[in-house]
């Protein structure tokens, strides 16, 4: 489903260049639950942003279902995100003036669905995350865990190809974090959703089927070596 | 929820700021509309259908110079003249100079209301006025201002002319959208007090039709060419604009204040919108992440700013209209402003200003928001 080839991302120019991703290659199959792990500054969020189409690589390819995301125009990329990507952020990022229902409905406003159809989709998504009884609540009237579940419902409501989660439990207590991770796992196992999650928490990563480590912008293999170290070893 | 509902929710998220911004736009538009109305009244004096048929003959040199009374007979004989009345500004003092800011004119009693049919006086009162040489007819607002009633005696002290007419009020005229603060009295009486010197300020003529006016103007002025008192004849509107030109730079002054008001409004609204959008930079990034493209986000910001400015504009413009329709501006201005009608054109101009304001003030924050990448936006406040 996702093929990342020779992906590089460099921030800044000239002497203050920072290489966030350095010739990264990765394949993600449909229906996977992948955890991207690594220390701060390792490039895991950058990689997630590029494959979710909210950032562009400096070079390389990022193919999602055959579409090179990096080559889409801004407008096409926005449409593509609406159709193919569901986001879950660390800080929930719900719109504070909208109710849970309206927050979940927001991405559907860009579709051709009627108000009735939108209502059905939103209700189903909120039921799926167990918050059908909190539809009319504003974000400030919900707990952190509930807010994150609303965010998951919003990510799911368009039935996207990818569900990307950037540190989804970073702002939650252990109990709420377990709830959210369990929900992501259920969505992966029962609804066959492809989930890509960035985390630095090994407990959270344990919910994933596969864990990939990044360090200084490079992927590590199972022995903890980067691809560059490996090639240098071969050269010796 | 709809997109418009979402825009409204966003606009109402900070109610105090919303109220203050709408209020500032409304107050500014109130000032703008008021100034524009004043400007409009100065440059476009109230006219009626009848005014298109009226022409004025005065001394060619200036209004301060007088014409001989005998000109009236020659004017009346010209083809196309329906009525002609002497019309001399008296400019007297009633009790106190500060009370005397109303027009007092010596006229031909039997013709004046034929030349000005929009000034309606009861037939019996008009007959009484015509019959009694020392009588006068007064506008309804003036009657109200001084608490006069029919039969009251009014003495004017001449400040320009050396005579003091002692007048009896015999009639009241009423008019819609025409000055109701004028006093008319007999020119014959004025002439008598002036020892029959036969001096006239202007002649007001009602033409038989609008088509004859250009020819009539030329004929009148030709009739008195090479005399001691050559004439200048012009349409009523042109005559009124002569007074306006005497105001000099007042027009420029009012225009400048209006411009400053609009510019200040622009800064206030742009500042508010910038603050509102900067606070929501992260949310804009979320919207983009969810699939809203740059134009969608631009539309949301534009609509919010436009709505805010138009709400203020509607309150300001129609508030002005309502206020001046229900406040006695004549009494409030101590007789200095007889009428202050806020025209449809002025309201439309005010609303156009509000609309442009809403659009222009949103451009900078909308542009910033469009240019900001999703990742940059998500990092805001992180």
> Which of B10, B12, B291 minimises the CB distance to A78?
B291
pLDDT at B49: 72
Q: Does B379 touch chain A (CB under 8 A)?
A: no
Tens digits of per-residue pLDDT, B176-196? 777 888 999 999 999 999 998
**Predicted complex ipTM:** 0.88
Confidence of residue B215 (pLDDT cuts 50, 70, 90): very high
Q: What is the pTM of this model?
A: 0.72
Q: Which two tokens stand for residue B352?
A: 């156009």
pLDDT at B134: 95
Per-position b or e across B284-320, b if 16+ CB within 10 A of its CB: bbbbbbbbbbbebbbebbbbbbbbbbbbbbbbbbbeb
pLDDT at A234: 43
> Which of A78, A95, A154 minimises the CB distance to B288?
A78
> Which of B1, B290, B292 minimises the CB distance to A102?
B1
**pLDDT surpassing 70 at residue B50:** yes
pLDDT at A225: 62
Q: Which residues contact B264 (CB under 8 A, 6 or more apart)?
A: B28
**pLDDT surpassing 90 at residue B90:** yes
> Which of A75, A81, A97 minimises the CB distance to B289?
A81
**pLDDT surpassing 90 at residue B315:** yes
Q: Does B282 touch chain A (CB under 8 A)?
A: yes
Chain A's closest residue to B280, CA to CA, is A95
pLDDT at B61: 93
Chain A's closest residue to B381, CA to CA, is A91
Confidence of residue B382 (pLDDT cuts 50, 70, 90): very low
Range in A198-202, A221-225, B26-30, B34-38 with the lowest mean pLDDT: A221-225
Per-position b or e across B221-259, b if 16+ CB within 10 A of its CB: bebbeeeeeebbbbbbeebbbeeeeeeeeeeeebeeebe
What is the three-class DSSP state of A34? strand
Pairing of strands B166-174, B153-155: antiparallel
List all residues of chain B from 90 to 149 with a beta carbon under 8 Å from chain A.
none
Quote the crossing angle between the two packed helices A74-84 and B294-326, to the nearest 10°.
100
Answer for the pair B190, B105: CB distance below 8 angstroms, yes or no: no
Mean pLDDT of B91-102: 82
What is the share, in percent, of chain B residues with pLDDT greater than 70? 96
pLDDT at B203: 96
Using a CB-CB cut-off of 8 Å, the residues of chain A touching B375 are: 49, 54-55
Q: Does A82 touch chain B (CB under 8 A)?
A: yes
- Residue B270's nearest CA partner among B346, B149, B360 is B360
Using a CB-CB cut-off of 8 Å, the residues of chain B touching A154 are: 290
Q: Do A107 and B288 touch (CB under 8 A)?
A: no
Question: Which stretches does DSSP call E strand in A16-121?
Answer: 18-28, 33-37, 59-64, 67-68, 85-88
Q: Do B6 and A87 touch (CB under 8 A)?
A: no
**pLDDT surpassing 90 at residue B57:** yes
Q: Does A61 touch chain B (CB under 8 A)?
A: no
List average pLDDT for each run of 10 residues in chain A, which is 236 residues long.
90 81 91 91 90 91 89 90 90 91 94 93 91 92 91 91 89 87 90 90 91 89 58 44
Alpha helices by DSSP H, listed for chain B, are 3-11, 15-43, 71-77, 112-115, 123-131, 140-146, 187-193, 213-223, 236-245, 250-279, 281-290, 294-326, 329-332, 344-371, 374-379
| C-alpha distance from B278 to closest chain A C-alpha (Å) | 15
Using a CB-CB cut-off of 8 Å, the residues of chain B touching A82 are: 290-291
Q: Does B288 touch chain A (CB under 8 A)?
A: yes
Q: Does A215 touch chain B (CB under 8 A)?
A: no
pLDDT at B326: 87
Q: Which CATH class is domain A2-235?
A: alpha beta
**pLDDT surpassing 80 at residue B44:** no
Domain ranges of chain A: 2-235
Q: Do A109 and B374 touch (CB under 8 A)?
A: no
Chain A's closest residue to B3, CA to CA, is A109
Chain A's closest residue to B1, CA to CA, is A102
pLDDT at A236: 39
Q: Does B286 touch chain A (CB under 8 A)?
A: yes
Q: Do B291 and A82 touch (CB under 8 A)?
A: yes
**Chain A interface disruption, residue of B9, B291, B296, B373, most A CBs within 10 A:** B291
Answer for the pair A44, A38: CB distance below 8 angstroms, yes or no: yes
Mean pLDDT of B349-354: 92
Q: Say how far apart CA B278 and CA B273 lie, in whole Å.
A: 8
Answer for the pair B28, B267: CB distance below 8 angstroms, yes or no: no
| C-alpha distance from B284 to closest chain A C-alpha (Å) | 10
**pLDDT surpassing 90 at residue B55:** yes
């Amino acid at each position: 489903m996702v093929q990342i080839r020779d992906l590089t991302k460099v921030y800044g120019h000239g002497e203050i260049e920072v290489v966030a991703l350095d010739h990264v290659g990765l394949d993600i199959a449909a229906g996977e639950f992948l955890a991207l792990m690594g220390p701060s500054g390792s490039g895991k969020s950058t990689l997630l942003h590029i494959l979710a189409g909210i950032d562009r690589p400096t070079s390389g390819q990022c193919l999602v279902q055959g579409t090179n995301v990096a080559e889409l125009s801004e407008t096409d990329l926005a449409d593509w995100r609406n159709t193919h990507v569901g986001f879950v952020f660390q800080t929930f990022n719900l719109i504070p003036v909208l109710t849970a229902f309206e927050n979940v409905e927001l991405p559907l406003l860009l579709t051709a669905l009627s108000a009735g159809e939108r209502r059905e989709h939103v209700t189903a998504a909120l039921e799926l995350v167990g918050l059908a009884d909190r539809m009319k609540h504003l974000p400030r009237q919900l707990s952190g865990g509930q807010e994150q579940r609303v965010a998951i419902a919003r990510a799911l409501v368009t039935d996207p190809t990818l569900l990307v989660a950037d540190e989804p439990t970073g702002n939650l207590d252990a109990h709420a974090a377990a709830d959210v991770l369990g929900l992501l796992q259920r969505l992966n196992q029962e609804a066959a959703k492809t989930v890509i999650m960035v985390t630095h928490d090994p407990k959270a990563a344990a919910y994933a089927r596969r864990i990939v480590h990044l360090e200084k912008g490079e992927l590590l293999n199972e022995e903890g070596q980067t691809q560059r170290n490996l090639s240098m070893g071969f050269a010796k | 929820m709809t997109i418009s509902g979402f825009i409204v929710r966003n606009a109402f998220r900070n109610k105090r700021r919303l109220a203050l911004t709408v209020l500032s736009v409304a107050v500014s538009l109130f000032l703008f509309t008021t100034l524009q109305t004043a400007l409009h009244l100065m440059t476009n004096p109230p006219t009626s259908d009848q005014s298109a048929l009226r022409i004025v003959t005065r001394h060619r040199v200036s209004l301060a110079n007088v014409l001989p009374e005998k000109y009236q007979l020659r004017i009346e004989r010209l083809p196309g003249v329906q009525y002609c009345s002497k019309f001399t500004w008296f400019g007297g003092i009633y009790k106190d100079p500060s009370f005397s800011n109303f027009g007092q004119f010596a006229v031909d009693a039997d013709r004046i209301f034929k030349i000005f049919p929009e000034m309606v006086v009861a037939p019996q009162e008009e007959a009484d006025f015509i019959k009694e040489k020392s009588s006068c007819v007064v506008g309804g607002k003036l009657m109200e201002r001084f608490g006069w009633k029919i039969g009251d005696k009014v003495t004017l002290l001449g400040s320009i002319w050396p005579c003091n007419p002692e007048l009896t009020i015999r009639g009241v005229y009423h008019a819609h959208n025409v000055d109701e603060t004028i006093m008319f009295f007999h020119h014959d009486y004025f002439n008598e007090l002036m020892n029959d010197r036969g001096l006239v300020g202007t002649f007001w003529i009602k033409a038989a039709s609008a088509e004859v006016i250009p020819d009539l103007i030329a004929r009148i002025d030709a009739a008195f060419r090479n005399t001691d008192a050559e004439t200048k004849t012009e349409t009523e509107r042109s005559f009124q604009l002569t007074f306006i030109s005497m105001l000099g730079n007042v027009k420029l002054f009012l225009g400048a204040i209006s411009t400053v008001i609009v510019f200040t409004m622009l800064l206030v609204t742009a500042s508010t919108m910038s603050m509102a959008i900067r606070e929501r930079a992260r949310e804009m990034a979320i919207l983009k992440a969810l699939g809203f493209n740059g134009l969608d986000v631009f539309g949301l910001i534009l609509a919010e700013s436009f709505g805010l400015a138009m709400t203020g504009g509607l309150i300001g413009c129609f508030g002005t209209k309502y206020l001046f329709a229900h406040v006695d501006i004549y009494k409030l201005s101590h007789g200095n402003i007889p009428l202050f009608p806020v025209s449809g054109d002025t309201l439309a101009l005010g609303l156009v200003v509000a609309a442009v304001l809403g659009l222009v003030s949103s451009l900078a924050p909308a542009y910033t928001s469009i240019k900001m990448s999703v990742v940059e936006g998500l990092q805001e406040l992180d």
